[in-house]
């Protein structure tokens, strides 16, 4: 599998276009066709049923942007963004030195946001150890169930007990992590990282239990040496479970294909991108968010000025959205995949070309989309709302929105359901109305609404944060977490 990156030299980029599996007589056309096939995979229109995500085959394929970067024109655009980042960081440092007398490249915001990082790292280690209980618990359930094979009544009771025990374990795990984040007083970046890891582990545990529990119930999993059927699989080893817990996929397999070696240059470039995007986001915070809203609540402001401030955040907020996407779904997942020699790196598709919200939601985050489809959508469609695709889709949106809002609420330290309303409310509404738009109008509508929606969300969260800093409030009150301050302390005149 090719593993070059934008960090390569010009000669390397040119060499990428002439892979030995392309035709020697028509290399440029073959390369362009390969790019089109990767970005727009062929669809079998004769299929009458959607293939189950659970039947997914993991293959050797690069991320869309990794493939596109092999085109010199696209690689030049990457260099342009890199140059813009360097200039923006330098301007921020110069502005900070002139106005405050200190040189700040964004590290002030990062240090403030990562307060309690090492305490969080210790907590993350404990979380990793706790996850092993799910692995051991499933094996224990299967062993006891096998011993009760001659007593169906007791076995059914045992199944029910273990099902409720697993649900209780998942809930307890979540409550313990949230309580730990609050008690350790982690800053928003540290808290958000731990909470994202919490959701990731819960999703991974659920997929592992769900996949192997079905195999145990069907008699397809070999728990111990007493089983003799040649059709049975051995119970996954702890090494297989550990690899899955870190692999950049939520679909469980006993084994995954592996690349032949680790390209350290590729991995280092992706890690540097993570660091670079982090500083880029910190610069946006210091140059746009703080100047606009840091005095919110302690100075008079007219409704017109407030509207201008919110609209002025559209472009910075869109850059934040793109930065988070690139940092997590491209750079970090590719970095992890390279270290683990994980070959299937289609974590997203060309969502930026979508002309409706359905395509955007499907292609934005394939890693989570696969899990939601397999374990939420299909169960809702088959068992909760039989035959109702609309209800099943809405269930997926609600579950996703609740998880996003949970992360934001705990990380920021207050409940202000802006993301939930935008995601599960306007997001669902836009999904339906954008279906009838043509490609050009639909794509423009998508980008305009993404910019405005993210600008509104960032503005409202920023106003609430600074209102809580600038206004006198009873922070010890049991209602302080649930009641937004922005409506009572806003300085509007």
Q: What CA dihedral angle connects 115, 118, 121 and 123, to 10 degrees? A: -90
Q: How far apart are CA 282 and CA 424, in angstroms?
A: 28
Cα end-to-end distance, the chain, whole Å: 61
H-run or E-run covering 127: helix 117-147
Q: How far apart are CA 155 and CA 148, in angstroms?
A: 6
Burial class of residue 52 in the structure, from the number of CB atoms within 10 Å of its CB (0-12 exposed, 13-18 middle, 19+ buried):
exposed
Structure tokens at 250: 């939520």
Asked if residues 279 and 89 have their Cβ atoms less than 8 Å apart, the reply is yes
Closest CA to 224 of 137, 133, 144: 144
Backbone CA torsion sign across 379, 380, 382, 384: positive
b/e code 319-344 from CB counts within 10 Å (16+ = b): bbbbbebbbbbbbbbbbbbbebbbbb
Query: What's the full length of the chain, in residues?
Result: 493
Instruction: List all residues 6 or more positions away from 451 whose beta carbon is below 8 Å from its beta carbon.
Output: 314, 315, 317, 318
b/e code 25-38 from CB counts within 10 Å (16+ = b): eeeeebbeebbeeb
Structure tokens at 41: 């995979």
**Max Cα–Cα distance, the chain, nearest Å:** 81
Residue 344 — φ and ψ, nearest 5°? -85, 105
Which residues does the annotation mark as catalytic? 404
Q: Helix or strand or coil: residue 450?
A: helix
Structure tokens at 180: 């730990």
Residue 222 — φ and ψ, nearest 5°? -85, 105
């Amino acid at each position: 599998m090719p593993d070059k990156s934008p960090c390569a030299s010009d000669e390397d980029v040119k060499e990428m276009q002439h892979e030995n599996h392309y035709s020697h007589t028509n290399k440029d056309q073959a390369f362009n066709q390969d790019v089109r096939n990767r970005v727009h995979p062929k669809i079998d229109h004769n299929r009458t049923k959607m293939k189950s995500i659970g039947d997914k085959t993991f293959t050797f394929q690069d991320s869309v942007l990794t493939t596109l970067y092999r085109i010199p024109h696209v690689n030049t655009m990457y260099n342009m963004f890199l140059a813009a980042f360097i200039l923006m960081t330098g301007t921020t440092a110069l502005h900070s030195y002139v106005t405050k007398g200190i040189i700040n490249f964004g590290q002030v915001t990062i240090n403030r946001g990562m307060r309690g990082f090492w305490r969080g790292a210790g907590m993350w280690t404990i979380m990793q150890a706790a996850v092993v209980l799910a692995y051991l618990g499933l094996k224990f359930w299967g062993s006891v169930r096998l011993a009760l094979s001659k007593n169906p009544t007791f076995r059914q009771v045992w199944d029910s007990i273990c099902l409720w025990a697993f649900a209780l374990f998942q809930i307890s795990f979540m409550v313990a992590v949230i309580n730990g984040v609050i008690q350790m007083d982690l800053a928003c970046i540290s808290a958000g990282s731990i909470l994202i890891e919490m959701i990731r582990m819960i999703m991974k545990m659920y997929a592992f239990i769900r996949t192997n529990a079905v195999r145990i119930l069907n008699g397809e999993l070999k728990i111990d040496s007493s089983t003799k059927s040649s059709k049975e699989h051995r119970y996954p080893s702890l090494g297989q479970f550990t690899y899955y817990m870190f692999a950049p996929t939520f679909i469980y397999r006993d084994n995954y294909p592996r690349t032949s070696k680790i390209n350290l240059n590729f991995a280092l470039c992706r890690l540097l991108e993570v660091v670079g995007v982090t500083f880029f986001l910190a610069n946006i915070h210091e140059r746009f968010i703080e100047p606009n809203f840091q005095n919110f609540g302690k100075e008079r402001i007219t409704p017109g000025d407030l509207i201008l401030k919110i609209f002025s955040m559209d472009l910075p907020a869109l850059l934040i959205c793109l930065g988070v996407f690139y940092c997590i779904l491209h750079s970090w997942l590719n970095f992890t995949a390279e270290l683990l020699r994980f070959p299937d790196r289609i974590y997203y598709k060309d969502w930026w070309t979508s002309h409706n919200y359905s395509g955007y939601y499907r292609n934005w985050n394939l890693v989570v989309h696969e899990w939601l489809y397999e374990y939420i959508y299909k169960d809702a469609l088959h068992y909760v709302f039989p035959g109702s695709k609309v209800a099943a889709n809405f269930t997926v949106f609600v579950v996703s929105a609740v998880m996003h809002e949970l992360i934001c609420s705990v990380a920021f330290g207050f409940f202000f359901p802006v993301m939930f309303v935008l995601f599960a409310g306007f997001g669902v509404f836009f999904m339906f109305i954008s279906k009838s738009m043509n490609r050009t109008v639909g794509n423009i509508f998508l980008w305009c609404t993404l910019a405005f929606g993210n600008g509104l969300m960032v503005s409202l969260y920023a106003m609430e944060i600074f209102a809580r800093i600038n206004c006198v409030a009873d922070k010890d009150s049991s209602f302080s977490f649930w009641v937004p301050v922005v409506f009572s302390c806003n300085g509007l005149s």
